[in-house]
Amino acid sequence: MSGLAKLIKWQWSHHRTAFAGGILVALIPAIAGIALLGVAGWFITAAALAGMSGAFLNIFLPSAAIRGLAIARTAGRYGERLLTHDATFRFLTDLRCRIFEGQAHRAGNGAKPRSGAALNRLTSDITALDAVYLRLVVPGILAGAVGLLSVAWVASISLILAIGPVVLLVFIAGLSVHLMTRKKRRDARRQEAALDAVRLRTVDLVAGRRDLAVYGGLEAAAGTIRAAEDRLADAEEAIEARSSLLSACTGFAGQVALALTLAAIIWTVGEGGVAIAVAVAVLLVVLGLPEVVSMIIPGLSKLDRTRLAAHRAVEGVEPNGTGSRSQGRAVQNVADGGQQKQGQAALAFERVSFGYPAAERQVLEDLSFEIAPGEWLALVGRSGCGKSTVSALASALLRPDGGSIQLGGQGLDAIREEELRRRITVLGQKPYLFHDSVAVNLRIANPQASDSQLWQALEVAALKDRISDNTSGLQAMLGEGGVGLSGGEQRRLGLARAYLTQPDLFILDELTEGLDEVTAAQVLDGFQRFRGDAAVLMIAHKQAEIDRADRILRLDAADQPMAAAAHWR
């Protein structure tokens, strides 16, 4: 089954009411619009003929019908927008969650993280997928249903009159099948590649503008963006040209259908087979039909792009496709509620091996060590020896290829994600700060924390004075990525955030990197006081940090996988 068909099936099975409700309500304005034309045409002609001949005509019923159809069309259109967009947003929301789960699952298995280009593509794919229901499913069903109903009604009056609308429907159906089965997606791929190039090169240009300016590469870098923009414009022009051709062909088919119907009307009315008022109603219905069936043209003209996006989205969701929210991690939470077990090490690595996918050699091989509750362990070694890898394994961001990792006597795999994040606090080299107030940035770690707890955490992180200097205090706004604070202050704010948690284990990655000696000592003192009974795994380079540790684990054998060389102070 194609990616597009899988997505439609998935939307139907997960959001049946919204899916069907949107289509049913969308049928109301489409049918009412065509019926309105027919009834109005019949009524005007019948009224004119009655006026000329003096025959009796009941005008109340058709007037009421016209008014009713006009109201149904307007109200139906409003309801249709509401329901079809609601169904689409529900579908996209779920799809985003499923894709995120799929990616998280892969990351947990140590798979290569997605690159910036793939992330760009993913977001534009999801945007492109709003066309699946709104531009393909709903218009397709409307075109089919209204077209068949119209043909059936016209055929019930006279088979000859149905030739025109049948020609139109056959043309649209043939066009749809042709486009659906077409294998070439050249223009969509060209458009996508050019868009990726424009985005990524622009990001490179902005991020690297200083170096480019220094080495005189600005003009060349801007030139590559302009070239990518030209390619994008070419591809978009080709897609637009095809879309215009499709619209022109459908318009032409509509005119052919109208001409055929007119000829058939002249023939049948001349033969006396059909009343003039009814013939005018048929003519107006055939006149209105192209508008309904051509609603599918915008979706068909973007079909290639939608199919590419659908194909990738289906690949990106949970690998086994089940979509259950908790499947990324095996959940076997034990009866003791995930607390640290008495007498167990806070963290234990037992013959752990790990290698990055596609890397030539293992980073860790048979690494074993333990950190006792409340113990502070410094992890040291030359650059690239695997310290960050150990930290990522300990915090379950990576999974080992062999061996086991236990937190308080429980295998990491057996601990629920939520529980795990409560029991381990990771403080990286550059904490991410959000474009929001200091208080919001701190409460991410503990939404219930009071203002006085926030001030206390800031004090321990040696940041209280800096924040209270600002008249807005805790409500002071930070720019994107923490702009407004120096690099060292950003790190200390990250530390204050970590102090608002009460984990069993802190994992610290070069805690005082970027701080001057005095502040670094203040931060280390504060952390030592604050951490209480929590164990600490600290990646350390500076002697001042190493000196605070109870024990040191060195990962520094020259060219070998690490574990063999791990040794203690």
Positions touching ligand ATP (CB under 6 A) are 356, 359, 363, 381, 383-389
> ∠ CA(341), CA(405), CA(385), 5° rounding?
135
Nearer to ligand ATP, 335 or 359 (CB): 359
Nearer to ligand ATP, 214 or 359 (CB): 359
> How far apart are alpha carbons 92 and 86 in whole angstroms?
10
Residue 103 token pair: 């990616």
Nearer to ligand ATP, 141 or 546 (CB): 546
> Least distance (Å) from ligand ATP to the CB of residue 513?
10
> Least distance (Å) from ligand ATP to the CB of residue 140?
44
Nearer to ligand ATP, 10 or 354 (CB): 354
Burial class (CB in 10 A: 0-12, 13-18, 19+), 270: exposed
Nearer to ligand ATP, 429 or 437 (CB): 429
Closest CA to 378 of 222, 566, 205, 199: 566
DSSP string, 55-92: -----HHHHHHHHHHHHHHHHHHHHHHHHHHHHHHHHH
Nearer to ligand ATP, 274 or 363 (CB): 363
The H or E element that residue 353 is part of is: strand 347-354
Return phi, psi of residue 95, to 5°.
Answer: -60, -45
> Least distance (Å) from ligand ATP to the CB of residue 387?
4
> How far apart are alpha carbons 407 and 504 in whole angstroms?
9
Q: Reduce the DSSP state of residue 348 to 3 states and report it.
A: strand
> How far apart are alpha carbons 32 and 506 in whole angstroms?
66
**Residues 6+ positions from 268 with CB-CB distance below 8 Å:** 158, 160, 161, 274, 279
> Least distance (Å) from ligand ATP to the CB of residue 370?
20
> Least distance (Å) from ligand ATP to the CB of residue 359?
5
**The three-state (H, E, C) secondary structure of 376-398, written as one string:** EEEEECCCCCCHHHHHHHHCCCC
> Least distance (Å) from ligand ATP to the CB of residue 72?
59
> Least distance (Å) from ligand ATP to the CB of residue 99?
21
Nearer to ligand ATP, 242 or 541 (CB): 541
Nearer to ligand ATP, 465 or 559 (CB): 559
**The three-state (H, E, C) secondary structure of 412-471, written as one string:** HHHCCHHHHHHHEEEECCCCCCCCCEHHHHHHCCCCCCCHHHHHHHHHHCCCHHHHHHCC
> Least distance (Å) from ligand ATP to the CB of residue 121?
20
**Residues 6+ positions from 498 with CB-CB distance below 8 Å:** 425, 427, 445, 506
The H or E element that residue 365 is part of is: strand 364-371
Nearer to ligand ATP, 429 or 453 (CB): 429
> Least distance (Å) from ligand ATP to the CB of residue 546?
14
> Least distance (Å) from ligand ATP to the CB of residue 388?
3
Nearer to ligand ATP, 146 or 562 (CB): 562
Residue 102 token pair: 């799929």
> Least distance (Å) from ligand ATP to the CB of residue 391?
8
> Do the beta carbons of residue 528 and residue 545 sit within 8 Å?
no
The H or E element that residue 403 is part of is: strand 402-407
> How far apart are alpha carbons 334 and 348 in whole angstroms?
18
Nearer to ligand ATP, 13 or 383 (CB): 383
> ∠ CA(201), CA(203), CA(207), 5° rounding?
120
